[in-house]
Structure 1
Amino acid sequence: MATAHLLFGFLGSGKTTLARDLEHRHRAVRFTPDEWMARLFGENPPAETFPLHAAAILDLMEPIWTRCLRLGVDVVLDYGFWRRAERDHARRLAEGCGARALLYRVECSEEEARRRVAARNERAERSLFIAPETFDVLKERLEPLQADEICLAVETGHV
């Protein structure tokens, strides 16, 4: 049975590192919206257009990752899944494809997450730029997992 690996976690928590590991370990197809965003709209797209671009990317990815599941291929959804509604939607879609959904809670200390984001901002790779003040604003949008959301906890510590 194919599996949709759903990665829940905040900026800098280690989601993409875990996603790459799961991609190789399970011979899965990895979907990382931030990489698509950076490639299509640049590493620092305007805040006023970001939500529309992000929604468009997720809309483009959904029929592809669900098709993979229907074909029996595992997928890794490196989305963050900050909202409960997003997690529920992905779980329903996976189950509708005859696959299972496996949720991972990826976390590290806030200090480590901020360090990682700052280091990523300095590298010359295609990645979204996250200003320190943006980190703080976005943190307020994270909806914690609920008691009924079964997950695998992954503490990434220092990488």
Structure 2
Amino acid sequence: MAEIHIVFGPQGAGKSSYSRTLATTSEGTRFSIDEWMAQLYGPDLPDPISLSWIMERVQRCEHQIWRIAEQIAKNGGCVVLDLGFMKVRNRSAFSEQARAAGIFSKLHYVTAPHDIRRSRVMRRNSEKGETFSFEVSPAMFDFMEAEFEAPTQLELASATVFNSNILAT
């Protein structure tokens, strides 16, 4: 069934793990912004990190990911977008693009308490497991924490909400 799943939540909530599972169960194609950024731009990261440099490249990746995702969905496939979607306007823009293209989209909000999320991110830094793409310093975590916009009531009314507390162990 042609559909696009938009997975969002704060850093460390379990979006990547959730997206991997969702892609498997829906037989979908998963796109992860962290993987694209690490592969395409990781070696070129400026030191110190420049937010404008990163955001320009994130936008490029999102544009290309959308073009491919739209083609997959229009050909009857399922797509899982794990692009962070930290801002309401980003989630709305992708939902609107899907609607304009005649493609069903579904929001998935993944959440967990702050202390669990922070612990996961720091553990991911040291373990460098399946969902590791790049190291997130405590300062970067705090910055991104302030950037995340909680879902609106309208978003929550139609979203699948997954609380990943059980993944904390």
TM-score, length basis structure 2: 0.87
| Offset, 1:45 | 2.9
| Structure 2 letter corresponding to 1:157 | N
Does the aligned pair in 2 maintain the 1:112–1:158 contact within 8 Å? no
Q: Quick one: which of 143, 146, 152 aligns to 2:152?
A: 146
Q: Take 2:140 and 2:91, find their aligned partners in 1: how far apart are those partners?
A: 23
Answering whether residue 37 of structure 2 is matched by residue 37 of structure 1, we say: yes
Answering whether residue 133 of structure 2 is matched by residue 127 of structure 1, we say: yes
| Offset, 1:38 | 1.0
Q: Quick one: which of 58, 61, 66 aligns to 1:57?
A: 61
Does the aligned pair in 1 maintain the 2:86–2:148 contact within 8 Å? yes
Q: Take 1:151 and 1:111, find their aligned partners in 2: how far apart are those partners?
A: 24
Number of equivalences = 159
Does the aligned pair in 2 maintain the 1:69–1:94 contact within 8 Å? no
Unaligned runs of 5+ in 1: none
Change (3 A) 1:44 1:136: farther
Q: Secondary structure of 2:6's match? A: strand
TM-score, length basis structure 1: 0.92
Q: Take 2:128 and 2:6, find their aligned partners in 1: how far apart are those partners?
A: 27
Q: Secondary structure of 1:80's match? A: coil
Q: Take 2:43 and 2:114, find their aligned partners in 1: how far apart are those partners?
A: 23
| Structure 2 letter corresponding to 1:111 | D
- Taking every aligned residue pair, what percent have the same amino acid on both sides? 28
Structure with the higher helix share, 1 or 2? 2
Equivalent residue for 1:111?
Answer: 115
Superposed CA RMSD in Å reads 1.7
| Offset, 1:122 | 1.3
